[in-house]
Amino acid sequence: MRIAITGASGFVGRAVVTALQQQGHEVVRLVRSRDPAAGTAHWDAATGAVDTAALGAIDSVVHLAGENVAGGRWSKARKQRIADSRGPATLALCRTLASLPKPPRVLVAASAIGIYGDRGDEVLDERSAPGNGFLADVAKAWEAGAEPLRACGTRVVHLRIPMVLDPSGGALQRMLLPFRLGIGGPLGSGRQWVGWITRHDLVRVITTALADERYRGPVLATTPTPVTNREFVRALGKALHRPAFLPAPAFALRLLLGEMSDLLLFSQRPRPGVLPANGFVFDHAQIDTAFAAMFARSERTATS
Ligand SMILES: NC(=O)c1ccc[n+]([C@@H]2O[C@H](COP(=O)([O-])OP(=O)(O)OC[C@H]3O[C@@H](n4cnc5c(N)ncnc54)[C@H](OP(=O)(O)O)[C@@H]3O)[C@@H](O)[C@H]2O)c1
């Protein structure tokens, strides 16, 4: 297949590009910079305009682009960028893709479990109603943005992604320094539920959803084994052979991070329905063994 991908330079996108190329697909990276590198086509996230000549005929699109939500305190301007780069950018891109002489057959698009808002101990699956709050509203608009492609018959998959784990980037990389210094610990009450998936498994979910016609609509791209924040930090401390007892009270996190602390304090307890129903088997479904596998691999990379 010839597959276009937005957000290809990101933490998830880089690994997706590698996997798709290894599977023999031709990948066109949709980039925002006017970089005429081979294998790229320019797109404008504000207008959705795409260099269609460079894009050529495509079978599928993987859409991962979006302003990083953990990239700094949520100032008014940053919140605007977080929102604009999801709902409106997706709508604009999908309008352009829908107007192509041959629209893509499949769109696999990132969404987030943040769509459920703060839900305590409630077990959430694809049928659960979305929640409230800034991230929930952003994610609702993000999924709705694919409407022009849905309307023209494209199979659209929304991956509701939880915390993606790999030591080379994302949330886990940011946690490593405090934990290695022995100053890691539970956040807030530590009772909030944390959904998670390794980047390795997320890439497998993305390539599976591209190829398998049964995937359509919202898909919880999470392991069926969420943990509480307290369990998560205990497992991370154990994997790094460091103490992880130093708590960070919710008020201190709110003071330090402002509204961005929602990312750490909100509780979502996902139980995926679609992935198990379609026979998807996670390579890493338990947090302890996931950490052990990831750190063993990064040590091997560091010493080779
Ligand atoms: N990582 C996680 O734990 C996690 C959890 C839930 C959901 N997700 C979602 O999954 C997607 C991929 O995550 P990631 O961790 O790979 O993200 P990332 O590392 O922040 O990369 C996102 C990519 O989006 C593009 N981008 C950045 N700012 C943008 C803007 N203002 N407008 C349009 N595009 C912009 C960039 O690619 P170019 O420069 O190449 O355009 C960037 O490399 C994101 O949409 C993210 O929200 C991730």
> Looking at the 3D structure of the chain, how many domains does it have?
1
Reduced DSSP (H G I as helix, E B as strand, rest coil) percent helix, strand, coil of the chain, to 5: 45, 20, 40
**Relative to the CA of 114, which ligand 1 atom is closest?**
6
Residue pair 286/225 in contact by the 8 Å Cβ criterion: yes
- The response to whether residue 164 sits with its C-beta less than 6 Å from ligand 1 reads yes
Tell me which residue range forms the domain holding 139. Answer: 2-303
Q: 3-class DSSP state for residue 85? A: coil
Calculate how far, in angstroms, residue 241's C-alpha sits from the geometric centre of ligand 1.
31
Q: 3-class DSSP state for residue 49? A: coil
Mean pLDDT of the chain: 96
pLDDT value, residue 38:
86
Calculate how far, in angstroms, residue 64's C-alpha sits from the geometric centre of ligand 1.
6
Residue pair 175/130 in contact by the 8 Å Cβ criterion: no
- The response to whether residue 157 sits with its C-beta less than 6 Å from ligand 1 reads no
Rounded to two decimals, the pTM is: 0.97
Task: Compute the CA torsion angle 213, 216, 218, 219 (nearest 10 deg).
Answer: -10
Residue among 12, 17, 67, 113 whose CB has most ligand 1 atoms within 8 A, to mutate: 12
Residue 92 has pLDDT above 70, yes or no: yes
Residue 296 has pLDDT above 90, yes or no: no
- The response to whether residue 66 sits with its C-beta less than 6 Å from ligand 1 reads yes
- The segment with the largest mean pLDDT, out of 34-48, 57-71, 244-258, is 57-71
Calculate how far, in angstroms, residue 67's C-alpha sits from the geometric centre of ligand 1.
6
- The response to whether residue 31 sits with its C-beta less than 6 Å from ligand 1 reads yes
Residue 281 has pLDDT above 80, yes or no: yes
From CA 218, how far away is CA 55, in angstroms rounded?
Answer: 27
- The response to whether residue 67 sits with its C-beta less than 6 Å from ligand 1 reads yes
Beta-bridged to residue 62, according to DSSP, are: 5, 108
Residue 280 has pLDDT above 80, yes or no: yes
Calculate how far, in angstroms, residue 151's C-alpha sits from the geometric centre of ligand 1.
25
pLDDT-derived band at 303 (thresholds 50, 70, 90) equals: low
pLDDT value, residue 304:
63
- The response to whether residue 10 sits with its C-beta less than 6 Å from ligand 1 reads yes
What is the maximum alpha-carbon separation in the chain? 58
CATH at residue 19: 3.40.50.720
Task: Compute the CA torsion angle 186, 187, 192, 194 (nearest 10 deg).
Answer: -80
Calculate how far, in angstroms, residue 6's C-alpha sits from the geometric centre of ligand 1.
9
Beta-bridged to residue 228, according to DSSP, are: 193
- Summarize the confidence of residues 14-30 as an average pLDDT: 98
What ranges in 74-224 are assigned the alpha helix state H? 76-84, 87-98, 134-144, 147-151, 170-180, 199-211
- Summarize the confidence of residues 198-209 as an average pLDDT: 98
Which of 32, 44, 135 has the alpha carbon at shortest distance from 82? 135
